[in-house]
A and B are shown apart, each in its own frame.
Chain A
């Protein structure tokens, strides 16, 4: 069962902030975040392994609320390079990574 991401699409001006959510009806045992630019391969951003964990680098961070079965990705002071499609993924306590529905982010000057 695929995690659901919201919103489906976001349009930003440079410098604005955005939040992307990843929700599941089943317990999440880990959350991965990837960014994919058009026509390219997904690039790993970060993994959150347990509830309550927060991670970040540069101006991109994420949190994992295990009880709510949800993770959020925070993009602060967005740059043009942040444009792309963001995917969350989870293992659901199996050895397969199941990707979410995706969120398309466009940043304009």
Chain B
């Protein structure tokens, strides 16, 4: 079955530690995205990538980093520079640039204490 997987579903970290969230897709999609969602809030774009080895900052990129070495994978690292990292993180993909529907993974809920 084609889809997007994110792991782990729940993640707990101590303040000051970097943490990497996994996102893998087997839909053969060119574009991938990372969003952050806080309780009762909408989705805010962190980073996105339209092709391998290229990515762009979204609206809230500070304190985050990404890589896109393979078409299927778009990991997100939450660094210690991110002041409020506790949130629900969603990865999505779409067939390419332009106006396409986005397919979302199940999300990772990160708690930093």
Cβ-closest chain B residue relative to A104: B40
Measured in the bound complex, the distance between the Cα atoms of B105 and A43 in whole Å is: 10
Q: Which residues of A contact B90 (CB under 8 A)?
A: 41-42
B1 within 8 A of A: no
Within 52-100 of B, Cβ neighbours of A (below 8 Å) are at 58, 90, 97-99
Q: Which residues of B contact A102 (CB under 8 A)?
A: 41-42
Cβ proximity bits B25-66 to A, threshold 8 Å, 1 near / 0 not: 000000001010000011111001010000000100000000
Within the complex, the shortest CB–CB distance from B37 to chain A, in Å, comes to 9
Within the complex, the shortest CB–CB distance from B45 to chain A, in Å, comes to 6
- The interface size of chain A toward B, counting residues with CB under 8 Å, comes to 21
The reply to whether A2 and B99 contact each other, CB–CB distance below 8 Å, is no
- The interface size of chain B toward A, counting residues with CB under 8 Å, comes to 21
A49 within 8 A of B: yes
Measured in the bound complex, the distance between the Cα atoms of B35 and A102 in whole Å is: 15
Within 67-109 of A, Cβ neighbours of B (below 8 Å) are at 87, 91, 95-102
The reply to whether A2 and B42 contact each other, CB–CB distance below 8 Å, is yes
Measured in the bound complex, the distance between the Cα atoms of B58 and A96 in whole Å is: 8
The reply to whether A99 and B99 contact each other, CB–CB distance below 8 Å, is no
28 A-B Cβ contacts within 8 A? A2-B42, A29-B99, A32-B101, A32-B102, A40-B106, A40-B107, A41-B104, A41-B105, A41-B106, A43-B104, A44-B101, A47-B99, A47-B101, A49-B99, A87-B42, A87-B43, A91-B99, A95-B50, A96-B45, A96-B48, A96-B58, A97-B33, A97-B45, A97-B102, A99-B35, A99-B42, A99-B43, A100-B42
